[in-house]
Structure 1
């Protein structure tokens, strides 16, 4: 069973999403809090994961990140990773208020950018009793240096600096496409598979997705280091799902973050690329996540 929900964050922004409850649930049940990655909206396959969790008796609170999709927030299409971490924690607080939620059995799930967020939230918030991080961003600074040619880095930094000066003088934040067909053109996620997945999924599933973010969203990406929190997730059970052919949130950095984490932990590897976790490798990604949540949250 799915119903639309909305809740206010601590700073008063309304976030909207879905509440999934397993059919025939009796009393409070374990609940998974989940949001999407960089610029993505909930219709981009989060429903499939929430449905898979409901099939095994797990409820889910799924929400659009602020400034995106059905959620409020200004400026539109701006991504502040630390604000998104705070919103995850507010979503946990909201989930605790729902009569269908067993507040002692709350898990978190994230993918890509939010795969990094759940590492941070898992380390900071002990209300969380289980974490699943799928194809996560581990190190924004190092990841950007893998996505952008070294001879382009100085010009990218110059764009950040010019945008900062303009904003101080009262200009609106500069914007940049999330993806571009030409991977050499300016974009936030400059890989061919990013272009294909976002444009195709936007057409077929998520017409509210918008191919633009603020330039400072990319600058904040370069400053974000979820790997520094990996060892502090313990003793909360932690699963990482890594796509071995991931060239967006590159797999070797994710594996390094997994090695940093202490136990209890489990690594699941997928044979495909970053976006295969949502489609071609969906069962290979969702099945172990179901098992991990059931093992540590119970029915």
Structure 2
């Protein structure tokens, strides 16, 4: 069983289904979920991204997967992409029963990702986040900020490939909210999931985008080297290219090879 979830503001229809279909065709069952407050999951207010709650969602999803018929509770794999990749690292570090982990273009270092944001944008995001956090104390509606946008925009991701990349991985018939509660910007710089890699005892595959403008490759490579059973696959894809086209085909092929070696399909 492979438990799968997306990254920052992402939902399962944004190409996680494509990965799951390939895994399923190879004989693996998949449980793909949306975090609370997003997509098909419940939770108010909508579009509230909270790291602690999302990690709780991972724990709950793994626990639920282990209760399903025909699922070996000791052969559960966690698979996370982007911000969800960081969550998958932490989940694997906390749960010694996880059989293997796959993290692609993972968010591993809050400072590195914050420094990848233009300074003026960072200042604006901080001000919006403070306003939102103060409003939350009085029960005010969330102050939302764009999760992605063109360069120069006030968005959490504004690299040149962010807006076209998200559009390329989002089906035309799927309505996906673009904004998140801006208080999340206060959490990013203090979040270092890569530091947990040294405590991941299971095999873990890091798929690292060498030209990643959102989750810089340098820190992730250093963290991957600390994982006792870490493996690395480098790709020339950017942070968003990994979901589509030839980069998707190569990445899913590499991941299937990793799974076949460490968690082979059984009868």
TM-score, normalisation: structure 2: 0.93
| 1:222 is the counterpart of 2:192 | no
More strand by share: 1
| 1:260 is the counterpart of 2:230 | no
Structure 1 CA distance for aligned equivalents of residues 50 and 133 of structure 2: 15
Structure 2 CA distance for aligned equivalents of residues 51 and 68 of structure 1: 22
Per-residue displacement from partner, 1:53-103 (whole Å, max 9, x unpaired)?
112211110111111111111110011122111111111111111113121
Q: What SS is found at the alignment partner of 1:285?
A: helix
**8 Å contact kept, 2:169–2:243:** no
| 1:275 is the counterpart of 2:255 | no
Number of matched residues?
264
Residue aligning to 1:7:
none
Structure 1 CA distance for aligned equivalents of residues 56 and 136 of structure 2: 24
Residue aligning to 2:202:
236
**8 Å contact kept, 1:69–1:208:** no
Residue aligning to 1:90:
60
Residue of 154, 158, 181 corresponding to 1:190: 158
C-alpha displacement of 1:240: 0.2
**8 Å contact kept, 1:240–1:258:** yes
Residue aligning to 1:112:
82
Residue aligning to 1:17:
none
Structure 1 CA distance for aligned equivalents of residues 122 and 157 of structure 2: 15
Structure 2 CA distance for aligned equivalents of residues 86 and 75 of structure 1: 17
C-alpha displacement of 1:168: 2.6
Q: What SS is found at the alignment partner of 2:157?
A: coil
**8 Å contact kept, 2:112–2:215:** no
Structure 2 vs 1, CA of residues 279 and 199 (structure 1 numbering), >3 Å: closer, same or farther?
closer
**8 Å contact kept, 2:169–2:244:** no
Structure 1 CA distance for aligned equivalents of residues 122 and 237 of structure 2: 28
Residue aligning to 2:29:
59
Residue aligning to 1:247:
213
Structure 2 CA distance for aligned equivalents of residues 38 and 103 of structure 1: 28
Structure 2 gap ranges (5+)? none
Structure 1 gap ranges (5+)? 1-30
TM-score, normalisation: structure 1: 0.83
Per-residue displacement from partner, 1:114-144 (whole Å, max 9, x unpaired)?
0111110010012211001100001123311
Structure 2 vs 1, CA of residues 156 and 179 (structure 1 numbering), >3 Å: closer, same or farther?
closer
RMSD between aligned alpha carbons?
1.6
Structure 2 CA distance for aligned equivalents of residues 256 and 95 of structure 1: 31
Q: What SS is found at the alignment partner of 1:240?
A: strand
Q: What SS is found at the alignment partner of 2:73?
A: strand
Residue aligning to 2:129:
160
